[in-house]
Amino acid sequence: MRVWPASPRDRLQIALWTAAEIAEATGGVASGDFQCSGVEMDSRDVRVGDLFVALKGEAMDGHRFVDKAIAAGAAGALVDRPVDWPHVLVEDTTAALHALAAAARMRSPAKRIAVTGSVGKTGVKEAIFTALDRSSRGQAHRSIRSYNNHVGVPLSLARMNARARYGVFEMGMNHAGEIAPLVDHVRPDVAVITTIAPAHIENLGSIEAIADEKAQIFGGLSKGGAAIIPADSPQYERLRAHAEAAGAQIYSFGRSKDARVRLLDAIPAANGGASLVTAQIDDTRLCYSVAEPGEHWIDNSLAVMATVYAVGGDLGAAGIALGEMGGLKGRGARHTITATGGRATLIDESYNANPASMRATLTQLGQTPASRRIAVLGAMGELGEFSRQFHEQLSDPIEDARVDFAVLVGEAMEPLVRKLGTAPANALGNPLAFAHCAGPAEAIAALEEFGLNAGDAILVKGSNAVGLGRLVDHFVSRG
């Protein structure tokens, strides 16, 4: 039997936090001795052994749910008033969560990686985690779901075990000034920007302003840290200037001949599945497969490889991980569903949408072999005065994808509805069939009326607020 070599990390405690450690980190007072294996702020998600953090918001006070959390198996609670259960008493639970996050960061030798970008940050975060987790015997940590805001980032840090070798954290923003505080929590060794696109342009006003805000991720880098930047972005020089000002080592990725992590060749599978990628990293050449379909995932894989390279990780293990990744719920997961005469494919991109990701996923739909292609597209949010323009511009990628039927959901889709209504017939002399729906229920009815046949490919894509996840659940639940 092979014996793994001993490591000082192996002597670290297995429990995530003890009551004494929580009290020391937060300046609180423990009611007694207990240990926890996780940290949770939503009583509905509590698992056995969690520490429940009773946060207070404008409309809700987590202290109302302490009893429910304990009943669900919480080992204790972080509270600002005494309760009848094991707890640590602090003055302010939000400040205490931040302090616990800082303690987790300081006690762990993990390489910390921060990921942001207008498109693809959750998928890239998951891919980086998967690549590093594979090569570290399960000692990688990451923020779950899209826990990427002022609460989600410190919560994700507080969940990082002292034994972790890598921590991967997603950072999101809607307004200027939101990235810097998140970076201050994580203080990353590597900062990744996936791409710059007109997401949240309503609040920031221009692509340049979006790039400047995303680039604040470099401001919190540790000394000698790495900046992972998309070389093909029109904002590349702007991003690079921010990174250099922060003293970062630059790892550019993309198809540009000057990219440090450069795509040499990519061969997409004929059935719209995995791609075979050949890339150059300094003097090393790599060949690996990417299970996630679509041109954008070829670019994402380069960002993943650049990150693994920057932290000294195993590039071979990363290549295997990319070849095995499956789609994420709401972000590319593919389902085989019941249809007339057999089975159809549903592509679930229902969690988020902006102009760049809409184009990318419609291109992916066009490359997917199918007897008919159906696009269910929800309105894109936070586009402000640019909304009409960006929605109207979806007509070209819809046409290029050879969509047979489009279901357009939400009031903001009206400009596209008008554009498609006046569009010329296709090469076969047929106008595009489409329906305009107010919400998910109407969209479900429109699809039911149109009918799904064996061999159909159905793309579901929209901003989360539109609620198209309900449509996905409806059709997937039928089996």
* Domain of residue 180, CATH code: 3.40.1190.10
Angle among Cα 339, 340, 345 to the nearest 5 degrees reads: 25
- Determine the pLDDT at residue 327: 74
- Determine the pLDDT at residue 381: 86
Q: Could you tell me if 186 and 66 lie in one domain?
A: no
Candidates 19, 158, 167; CA nearest to 86 is 19
Instruction: Using pLDDT thresholds of 50, 70 and 90, give the confidence band for residue 1.
Output: very low
How many domains, in total, are found in the chain? Answer: 3
pLDDT tens column, 414-452: 999 999 887 665 544 567 899 999 999 999 999 999 999
Q: Could you tell me if 80 and 130 lie in one domain?
A: no
Residue 194 lies in a domain: yes
User: Counting beta carbons within 10 angstroms of the beta carbon of residue 467, is it exposed (0 to 12), middle (13 to 18) or buried (19 or more)?
Assistant: middle
Instruction: Using pLDDT thresholds of 50, 70 and 90, give the confidence band for residue 14.
Output: low
pLDDT tens column, 185-229: 999 999 999 999 887 677 778 999 999 999 999 999 999 999 999
- Determine the pLDDT at residue 230: 97
Residue 100 lies in a domain: no
Q: Could you tell me if 141 and 287 lie in one domain?
A: yes
Residue 1 lies in a domain: no
Q: What is the rounded distance in angstroms from the CA atom of residue 218 to the CA atom of residue 216?
A: 5
Q: Could you tell me if 254 and 312 lie in one domain?
A: yes
Q: Could you tell me if 274 and 384 lie in one domain?
A: no
Q: What is the rounded distance in angstroms from the CA atom of residue 274 to the CA atom of residue 349?
A: 18
Q: Could you tell me if 270 and 145 lie in one domain?
A: yes
Q: Could you tell me if 51 and 142 lie in one domain?
A: no
- Determine the pLDDT at residue 205: 80
Residue 34 lies in a domain: yes
Q: Could you tell me if 347 and 260 lie in one domain?
A: no
Q: What is the mean predicted confidence (pLDDT) over 44-56? A: 96
Residue 281 lies in a domain: yes
Q: What is the mean predicted confidence (pLDDT) over 253-257? A: 96
Q: Could you tell me if 78 and 121 lie in one domain?
A: no
Residue 143 lies in a domain: yes
- Determine the pLDDT at residue 439: 95
- Determine the pLDDT at residue 296: 86
- Determine the pLDDT at residue 2: 57
Candidates 230, 273, 266; CA nearest to 251 is 230
Q: Could you tell me if 24 and 63 lie in one domain?
A: yes
Residue 4 lies in a domain: no
Q: Among 91, 119, 136, give the residue marking a domain's end.
A: 91
Q: Among 324, 344, 365, give the residue marking a domain's end.
A: 324
Instruction: Say yes or no to pLDDT of 51 above 70.
Output: yes
Q: What is the mean predicted confidence (pLDDT) over 251-271? A: 90
Instruction: Using pLDDT thresholds of 50, 70 and 90, give the confidence band for residue 67.
Output: very high
Q: Which domain holds residue 462?
A: 333-476
Instruction: Using pLDDT thresholds of 50, 70 and 90, give the confidence band for residue 144.
Output: confident
Instruction: State the helix-helix crossing angle for 121-135 and 315-324, rounded to 10 degrees.
Output: 120
Instruction: Say yes or no to pLDDT of 456 above 60.
Output: yes
CATH number at 352 reads: 3.90.190.20
Q: What is the mean predicted confidence (pLDDT) over 323-346? A: 88
The lowest-confidence range among 39-53, 70-84, 396-410, 415-429 is 415-429
CATH number at 72 reads: 3.40.1390.10
Q: Could you tell me if 318 and 362 lie in one domain?
A: no
pTM confidence score: 0.81
- Determine the pLDDT at residue 428: 46
Residue 6 lies in a domain: no
Q: Tell the residue number behind the tokens 């060794």, with chain if given.
A: 189
pLDDT tens column, 347-405: 999 988 888 889 989 998 998 889 999 999 999 988 888 899 999 999 999 999 999 99
- Determine the pLDDT at residue 400: 93
Average pLDDT, the chain: 91
Q: Among 91, 116, 149, give the residue marking a domain's end.
A: 91
Q: What is the mean predicted confidence (pLDDT) over 111-135? A: 93
- Determine the pLDDT at residue 354: 87
Q: Could you tell me if 280 and 370 lie in one domain?
A: no
